[in-house]
Amino acid sequence: MGGLFAAAFLQRIGWEAHVYERTGDDLATRGAGLGTHDALLEGLRALGIDTGERLGVLVRDRICLARDGKVVARRTLPQVMTHWARIYEALRPLVDGAHFHAGHNFTGHRRVGAQAVAQFEDGTEAAGDLLIAADGLRSTMRPQLLPEAQPRYAGYVGWRGTVKGIDLPPEYYFGLPGSEMMLTYPVPTGEWNYVWYRPTTERELADLCTDATGHCHGTAIAPPLIRAGLAARLKRDARELLAPQLATIVEGSQPFFQAIFDLESPRVAHGRIVLMGDCAFVARPHVGMGVTKASLDARCLAHSLEVSKDLDAALERYDRMRCEFGRWCVERSRAIGAYIERRELPDPERVLSDVGAVRADIPMSY
Ligand SMILES: Cc1cc2nc3c(=O)[nH]c(=O)nc-3n(C[C@H](O)[C@H](O)[C@H](O)COP(=O)(O)OP(=O)(O)OC[C@H]3O[C@@H](n4cnc5c(N)ncnc54)[C@H](O)[C@@H]3O)c2cc1C
């Protein structure tokens, strides 16, 4: 997403931008739900993308349900919820085939004069005035520049899934069993998306990431390799711990999970290389900022190049603004998830208001 946003915004100010993507297959078949923010919608419109009805579903209320299905807290806070693929499909055509290079696995970089050169696994290289690393949480670039900036495991995972055929009024629901947090909302594909945050020790995470052959994949595992017994256990827990309306959603899904990490980079501009999106800062998903942050990073880079007198001044501006914003996102998301990490009991009113407040407070500057 960050790479596509960057290419699209840079093209608009007259730069030639190429995107190199490791994956060869169609990414639009992946992803799940995400919340939008005004900054994201405004950024999409600035790129000429229609943010009308097809993009998202408007939910008005946030409702917390107790185990017996009764409402324990409610707050009105309209938000458009979308699907990752809807944004990806809107952005992808903005970069034409001559500038989008699928199946290119970035491995290293070097400098040649004032130019930065990206090196790929197949032995090819690409040189430019600027090299933008938008290769996500598990970046190949970041450890080469900032070996000390390591993702920190937050002590819990988010089980996720989508399911069709749910008959619930289209609102944003929460369930808060013990020190956990389950949330669910409708997305424009006609499905319901859920995320269920559950405290998980490092040892338990290693077990979740172990496939049926006994091989442990580290701290992440491809969804098809998740052991069937783990999904069955999640569904059993859903029946025991969640409101019946929420349990049905988990039971009807094919669950997968992501471990939750915090990541902060001390700098995001390094000579002619910049870090962007999840490569630079990762905030826990409670602030729902992943895509919005990537769009603001890209917009800030293009704006800095447009308004600054030279490239170095532009990159300094980018570095200052994105570090400030990235730290804000990480801090806010950490505060919302702190009770899960500490295994404390949450106050439902407080959870709804903290999650909601982020939308109003986001610094939109770029
Ligand atoms: C397929 C997919 C589905 C997602 N679904 C959701 C979702 O449903 N909800 C949500 O909130 N967030 C989702 N995300 C995460 C979300 O896109 C990011 O949090 C956010 O958009 C920041 O984007 P990013 O570009 O910084 O990182 P990412 O979106 O993670 O993109 C990084 C990209 O870099 C590529 N890459 C990694 N290493 C290399 C390399 N060495 N060489 C070349 N390319 C490389 C990856 O294949 C990926 O396409 C998804 C990400 C992906 C890739």
Could you report the per-residue pLDDT of 68-117, keeping only the tens digit for each?
999 999 999 999 999 999 999 999 999 999 999 999 999 999 999 999 99
Per-residue model confidence as pLDDT tens digits over 265-309 = 999 999 999 999 999 999 999 998 999 999 999 999 999 999 998
103 lines ligand 1 (CB under 6 A): no
How far apart are the CA of 106 and the centre of ligand 1, in A? 14
> What does the pLDDT read at residue 156?
98
Ligand 1: which atom is nearest the Cα of residue 290?
19
Question: Averaged over 16-44, what is the pLDDT?
Answer: 90
Pairing verdict, β 152-164 and 131-133: unpaired
> What does the pLDDT read at residue 27?
78
Per-residue model confidence as pLDDT tens digits over 239-270 = 999 999 999 999 999 999 999 999 999 999 99
Per-residue model confidence as pLDDT tens digits over 187-221 = 999 999 999 999 999 999 999 999 999 999 999 99
pTM attached to this predicted model: 0.94
How far apart are the CA of 253 and the centre of ligand 1, in A? 22
- Residue 356: pLDDT band (50, 70, 90) is confident
Ligand 1: which atom is nearest the Cα of residue 280?
26
How far apart are the CA of 343 and the centre of ligand 1, in A? 29
Question: Averaged over 21-36, what is the pLDDT?
Answer: 86
Least confident among 49-53, 203-207, 229-233, 323-327 = 49-53
> What does the pLDDT read at residue 28?
72
In a 13 Å sphere around the CA of 50, the CA atoms on its Cβ side amount to 4
Per-residue model confidence as pLDDT tens digits over 140-175 = 999 999 999 999 999 999 999 999 999 999 999 999
Distance of CA 219 to the CA centre of its chain: 17
> What does the pLDDT read at residue 122?
97
Residue 360 has pLDDT above 80, yes or no: no
140 lines ligand 1 (CB under 6 A): yes
108: amino acid identity, one letter: G
> What does the pLDDT read at residue 364?
80
Residue 30 has pLDDT above 90, yes or no: no
Between CA 147 and CA 156 the distance in angstroms is 24
DSSP secondary structure, 161-218, as one string: EEEE---S-S-EEEE--TT-EEEEEE-TTSEEEEEEEEE--HHHHHHHTB-TTS-B-T
158 lines ligand 1 (CB under 6 A): no
> What does the pLDDT read at residue 348?
95
How far apart are the CA of 78 and the centre of ligand 1, in A? 27
> What does the pLDDT read at residue 352?
93
Residue 294: phi and psi, rounded to 5, are -60, -40
Percent of the chain whose predicted confidence (pLDDT) is above 70: 100
- Residue 42: pLDDT band (50, 70, 90) is very high
20 lines ligand 1 (CB under 6 A): yes
